[in-house]
Amino acid sequence: MFVGGIDTTSTALEWVTAEFIRSPSTTKRAQEEIRRVVGTKSHIEVEDISQMDYLKCIHRENMRLHPPLPLLVPRETSACVNFEGYDILSKTRVFINVFAIQRDPKIWDRPEEFIPQRFKDNRVDFKGLDFELILFGGGRRGCPGISFGVAIAENVIANLLCWFDWELPSSNAGKDLDMTEVNAVTVFKKVPLELVAIPDSS
């Protein structure tokens, strides 16, 4: 569970950082919120992150658009069932395509775009009760490391944005950043992200 959490978390963090480079306005808004909450403290505490509403919107939108695992762990039906006109026999192995669900234009407005604001005042969450955002699974087969993974990712994002500004090493515009995906067990960037960290001087 620990090793699995490391791989998916690092993949998610690379994607969200790439989205920050492509959307400077999102980055600036997130940094303003984080730096306002942290103030003059030398480190970010758990209580601080609970006050960062926009950060949580960013994390949910990143996980919607870039789920680290495009297919959930396979399930097996325990009984025969008719679903949407299809007869599914008992003991059938079933794969849930999270990637397709979370980019479905019937569910999401402008599904291919990174829009954290869509989660403002939106109760949809990835705790297993909302099937339009089901990347951690649900029920008894839900990911046991969800709390650990979410806490780690939010903490790292907050620290990256609080203490540093980020730039591409070249003069290329962030909107031109290569976002090609490579599908494996986890979906990662084909071209690894390379950035320059500039310590915040404010």
Cα separation, 195 vs 45, whole angstroms: 26
Largest CA distance in the chain: 63
- Phi/psi of residue 94, each to 5°? -120, 130
Residue 172 one-letter amino acid: N
Do the Cβ atoms of 91 and 80 come closer than 8 Å? no
Q: Determine if residue 143 is labeled as part of a ligand binding site.
A: yes
DSSP state of 165: E
Do the Cβ atoms of 94 and 102 come closer than 8 Å? no
DSSP state of 93: E
List the binding residues.
143
Can you say which residues are annotated as belonging to the binding site for heme?
A: 143
